[in-house]
Amino acid sequence: MGQRMCRWAAYIGQPIFLEDIVSKPGHSLIHQSQCATQCHTAINADGFGLAWYDARPEPGLYRDVMPAWSDPNLKSLTAQVKSPLFLAHVRASTGTATSRNNCHPFVVGRWSFMHNGQIGGYDRFRRAGEMLIPDHLYPHRKGATDSEALFLLALAEGLDADPKGAFERAAARLEALAAERGCAPHMRLTAAFSDGQRLYAIRYASDDAAPTLYHRWSDTRRGRAVVSEPLEDGEGDWQAVPPGSFCVFEGARVVIEPFAPPRAAVAA
């Protein structure tokens, strides 16, 4: 199974134009979609998406299947829209179709979610993975990706009340399926998600090759970028998040805790 290495960036802080993260930096997300440096997939051309928060609890969502660098609507939108909290993603598929429903971020209610990584051999146990999603959440299953399945399973595991525990339990259940029916590596992920108030991020792998994750506070913007790889080569103050971490970003505050899917669930 080829390793999907999507690229993503998120921001929380004083409102900025989306283009300040998506297209303006020297190694912006759009630049990364053509020549990423810290992943195996240099070209990420299987769609893109944005989720942003502003005056309403639910985020706006814009996704399409074009390469991010060739969509004039994306350029116009990011130049005009300001937001205090947003998620942006460019996709490199490992097999599921290039369709709008398979593009990140995924949104349910006030929650938005995007993911980079893989659940080993997901195509071999996809039906079993689908069966883990309860009936009341299944109408939100629009695409076919393992990423969306992980998100819906986290919602089922109590994301509203316990974000870290919900994702630990969800990751454990899918990692267990990968160990039983899929292939190694059973789980590699970096993910960012938000409820519109806080920005959360995860870096985790079942082996020693967790995808990269960085964050950086900007005094001039009064905000923090959380990214799969740094946005400017010359900025030396990007902080790498260690593997096995769950991060909470709120204002200038950063809390990083261990992220450890329960092994009993993995072994079950």
Query: How far, CA to CA in Å, does 246 sit from each of 178, 183, 241, 243?
Result: 22, 25, 9, 9
Q: Could you tell me if 194 and 10 are in contact, meaning their C-beta atoms sit under 8 angstroms apart?
A: yes
Is 157 inside any structural domain? yes
Query: DSSP letter at 210?
Result: P
Residues identified as active-site? 6
Q: What is the model's pLDDT at position 47?
A: 80
Is 187 inside any structural domain? yes
72 Cβ contact list (under 8 Å, min separation 6): none
Q: What is the CATH number of the domain that holds 111?
A: 3.60.20.10
Q: What percent of the chain has pLDDT over 70?
A: 86
Q: What is the mean pLDDT of the chain?
A: 88
Q: What is the model's pLDDT at position 65?
A: 85
Q: What is the model's pLDDT at position 46?
A: 63
Helix (H) or strand (E) holding 211: none
- 199 forms bridges with which residues in the sheet? 194, 249
- Percentage helix, strand, coil for the chain under 3-state DSSP, each rounded to 5: 25, 30, 40
Is 30 inside any structural domain? yes
Is 67 inside any structural domain? yes
The 3-state DSSP class for residue 164 equals: helix
Q: What is the domain count for the chain?
A: 1
Query: DSSP letter at 134?
Result: -
The pLDDT profile of the chain, 268 residues, written as one tens digit per residue, is: 334 467 899 999 999 999 999 887 665 687 766 554 454 444 445 689 999 999 999 999 999 987 777 788 988 999 999 999 999 998 665 555 568 899 999 999 999 999 999 999 999 999 999 999 999 999 999 999 999 999 999 999 999 999 999 999 999 999 999 999 999 999 999 999 999 999 999 999 999 999 999 999 999 999 999 999 888 777 779 999 999 999 999 999 999 999 999 975 444 4
Q: What is the model's pLDDT at position 41?
A: 46
Query: How far, CA to CA in Å, does 181 sit from each of 124, 151, 174, 176, 184?
Result: 7, 21, 10, 9, 10
Cβ-based neighbour number of residue 137 at 10 Å: 14
Distance CA 255, CA 246 (A): 8
User: What is the strand order of the sheet 253-258 is part of?
Assistant: 106-108, 111-119, 187-194, 199-205, 245-250, 253-258
Is 1 inside any structural domain? no
Is 2 inside any structural domain? no
Which residue range(s) make up the domain with 46?
Answer: 7-267
